[in-house]
Amino acid sequence: MSTNHETIAFDEALKTFEPVLGLEVHVELGTRSKMFCGCSTVFGADPNTQVCPVCLGLPGSMPVVNRTAIESTIRIGLALNCTIASWCRFARKNYFYPDMPKDYQISQYDEPLCSNGYLDVTVETEDGPEVVRVEIERVHMEEDTGKLLHTGGATGRIHGADYSLVDYNRAGIPLVEIVTKTIEGTGHLAPAVAKAYVAELRDLMRALDVSDVRMEEGSMRCDVNLSLNRPGDGWGTRSETKNVNSLRSVERAVHSESERQAALLSSGGRIVQETRHFHEDTGRSTSGRSKEQAEDYRYFPEPDLVPVAPSEAWIEELRATMPELPSDKRDRLKAEWGINGFELQTIVNAGALELVEATINAGVDSAAARKWWTGELQRSANESGVELADLNVTPDHVKQVEALIANGALNDKLARQVFEALIAREGTVEEIIAERGLAVVSDDGALLVAIDEALASQPDVAEKIKDGKIQAAGAIVGAVMKATKGQADAAKVRTLLLERLGVSE
């Protein structure tokens, strides 16, 4: 394994070289059963409990295609503006590896189910949002492999391990592979385009409801192909970076691989065609297996399966039931919520679109819904490193809190504490308010006592206010808020204070 730490800063690299990208995204379909047998696909079961003769590749067993998987793939193809093949076959990809029960993978080769489409993605530039069309080469179906666990040895790899265990629960889970054509001419936007493309694909899969697209669980995985060339030259040699398992990593992988290749090329070096492994912790990749001697997978049509020949009627039926796609939805929401593209992008980037939408649909004001999800709640999610949706705060919670703010029972500061407690799973909104004693102090008497105390301790400020310097009132209001631990309504304190001093605004 060679690790090259020599790099050239990205901006510098882009002055000399033009990046050419190609992205291969694997999506695990959310079908209830596997691609070629009836075994469950539920994630996280005990090892080798969701297996049968078919997905274990036992002698004599035979695959049968999952119709829902075909349907999902066609829907993905339609959403990506692809041509749907009227007739295509599965193919066997032959290679020996212990995570693959049959020592061949049932995949598609020269006859993909969907081909020649595109996906428009939006990236932010200095001049505002820019739409980039990413062309899709193909969308095809295949089966996933089992999972290897290597114990002992230095590298956590199969070589050098004391022993290795295989879990075949994942073997046979349906995958679609979505392959782009080469993405050229994006220049310094390349990392952003790559990230935006994968993010858009993820949203598309969610909208189609074909996958749970959880990158951290591996239900969506991205391989980044990248080469650099000097403007006017032909394409350079590409590397393929695997194990890129988050949106941020997609961006970082393009960034760092550009830097690495630029340094090598600038110093007269040569890019080796190879597979590289991305490391989430360092943001860099290390060399994997060389592909200089291209592996020969001896593809041939899978003779155990009849061809897939979706009828025109079936395709049209699926087309007619396509859900609203993310880009159309964004246009609609901008209009409905009265926000611009940048504001919407903020919500999308926070992964909050569905949550904000649900909150607004629950009756919360658009501005308030956006404020909570992209503000306080997103901050909490980032801090604890979880997805917004996994925060234990629901649109209904936001609705309850907003209703309490509207009737004066809570203020923003107290509301933040409610959310904090919800995230800490302290109970329901009502329980939290009761338990923590969170309620706006609306008793005038109590507030007047606090105001008098504050005035007494700051007589000079009191004089200034009486003299008409009303802006000085902030200091007293602040003291009252502090004394009531934020449980007072600041506007009300201010009104009471001015009345007390006989001053009008």
Partner 1 sequence: MDLIKLSAADLSDAMSKGEVSAVEVAQAHLDRIAAVDDRVHAFLHLEGESAIAHATSVDARRSAGEQLGALAGVPLALKDNLAMRGVPTTCGSKILEGWRPPYDATVVERLRANDVVILGKTNMDEFAMGSSTEHSAYGATRNPWDLERIPGGSGGGSAAAVASFEAPLAIGSDTGGSIRQPAAVTGTVGVKPTYGAVSRYGLVALASSLDQVGPCARTVMDTALLHAAIAGHDHRDSTSINAEVPDVVAAATRADVRGMKIGIVSQLSGDGYQAGVSQRFTEALTHLEHLGAEIVEVSCPSFDYALGAYYLILPSEASSNLARFDGMRFGLRAGDDGRNSVEQVMSLTREAGFGAEVKRRIILGTYALSSGYYDAYYGQAQKVRTLIMRDFTAAFAQADVLVSPTAPTTAFKLGEKLDDPIAMYLNDVATIPVNLAGLGSMSLPAGLAPEDGLPVGFQIMAPPMADDRLYLVGAALEAALHDQWGHLLIEEAPGL
Are the C-beta atoms of 41 and 173 separated by less than 8 Å?
yes
110 touches partner 1 (CB under 8 A): no
389 touches partner 1 (CB under 8 A): no
Q: Can you tell me which residue has the tokens 């919520």?
A: 337
395 touches partner 1 (CB under 8 A): no
112 touches partner 1 (CB under 8 A): no
Judged by CB, which is closer to partner 1: 264, or 308?
Answer: 308
Taking CB under 8 A as the binding criterion, the range among 224-232, 279-287, 297-305, 485-493 that sits at the site for partner 1 is 297-305
4 touches partner 1 (CB under 8 A): no
The secondary structure of residue 289, as a DSSP letter, is: E
Judged by CB, which is closer to partner 1: 293, or 504?
Answer: 293
Taking CB under 8 A as the binding criterion, the range among 183-191, 260-268, 299-307, 407-415 that sits at the site for partner 1 is 299-307
Q: Can you tell me which residue has the tokens 């090892």?
A: 47
Are the C-beta atoms of 47 and 207 separated by less than 8 Å?
no
166 touches partner 1 (CB under 8 A): yes
DSSP string, 450-478: HHHHHHHH-HHHHHHHHTT-GGGHHHHHH
385 touches partner 1 (CB under 8 A): no
Taking CB under 8 A as the binding criterion, the range among 97-105, 256-264, 374-382, 432-440 that sits at the site for partner 1 is 97-105
49 touches partner 1 (CB under 8 A): no
Are the C-beta atoms of 27 and 211 separated by less than 8 Å?
yes
56 touches partner 1 (CB under 8 A): yes
Judged by CB, which is closer to partner 1: 274, or 302?
Answer: 302
Among 102, 202, 260, 399, binds partner 1 (CB under 8 A): 102
Taking CB under 8 A as the binding criterion, the range among 96-104, 240-248, 367-375, 408-416 that sits at the site for partner 1 is 96-104
Q: What is the distance between the terminal CA atoms of the chain, rounded to a whole angstrom?
A: 74
Quick one: tokens of 429?
Answer: 């909104």
5 touches partner 1 (CB under 8 A): no
Min dist. Cβ of residue 302 to partner 1 (A): 8
Judged by CB, which is closer to partner 1: 17, or 36?
Answer: 36
Min dist. Cβ of residue 37 to partner 1 (A): 9
User: What angle, rounded to 10 degrees, do the helices at 353-361 and 341-349 form?
Assistant: 110
Among 9, 42, 45, 62, binds partner 1 (CB under 8 A): 62
Among 42, 131, 149, 158, binds partner 1 (CB under 8 A): 158
Q: How far apart are CA 349 and CA 377, in angstroms?
A: 13
Judged by CB, which is closer to partner 1: 63, or 351?
Answer: 63
Number of C-beta neighbours around residue 482 at 10 A: 12
53 touches partner 1 (CB under 8 A): yes
Taking CB under 8 A as the binding criterion, the range among 98-106, 119-127, 174-182, 200-208 that sits at the site for partner 1 is 98-106
Q: How far apart are CA 380 and CA 377, in angstroms?
A: 5
Q: How far apart are CA 222 and CA 251, in angstroms?
A: 11
Taking CB under 8 A as the binding criterion, the range among 231-239, 258-266, 301-309, 340-348 that sits at the site for partner 1 is 301-309
Among 19, 30, 63, 395, binds partner 1 (CB under 8 A): 63
HEC assignment per residue over 70-109 = HHHHHHHHHHCCCEECCCECCEEEECCCCCCCCCEEEECC
Q: How far apart are CA 9 and CA 18, in angstroms?
A: 14
Phi-psi region of 419 (alpha: psi -120 to 50; beta: other; left: phi over 0): alpha
Judged by CB, which is closer to partner 1: 92, or 284?
Answer: 92
Judged by CB, which is closer to partner 1: 60, or 231?
Answer: 60
Judged by CB, which is closer to partner 1: 170, or 255?
Answer: 170
64 touches partner 1 (CB under 8 A): yes
Among 6, 103, 444, 467, binds partner 1 (CB under 8 A): 103
27, 52, 57 from 165: Cα distances, Å:
24, 18, 17
93, 177, 105, 85: which is closest to 136 by C-alpha?
177
User: Which CB contacts under 8 angstroms, 24+ apart, belong to 437-441?
Assistant: 438/410, 438/414, 438/487, 439/409, 439/410, 439/414, 439/487, 440/408, 440/409, 440/410, 440/411, 440/414, 440/487, 440/488, 440/489, 441/484, 441/487, 441/488, 441/489
Q: How far apart are CA 85 and CA 43, in angstroms?
A: 31
Q: What type of residue is 207?
A: A
Min dist. Cβ of residue 32 to partner 1 (A): 17
Residues 442 to 501: which contact partner 1 by CB under 8 A? Answer: none
Binding site for partner 1 (CB under 8 A): 53, 56-65, 92, 94, 96, 98, 101-104, 158-159, 164, 166, 294, 296, 298-300, 303-306
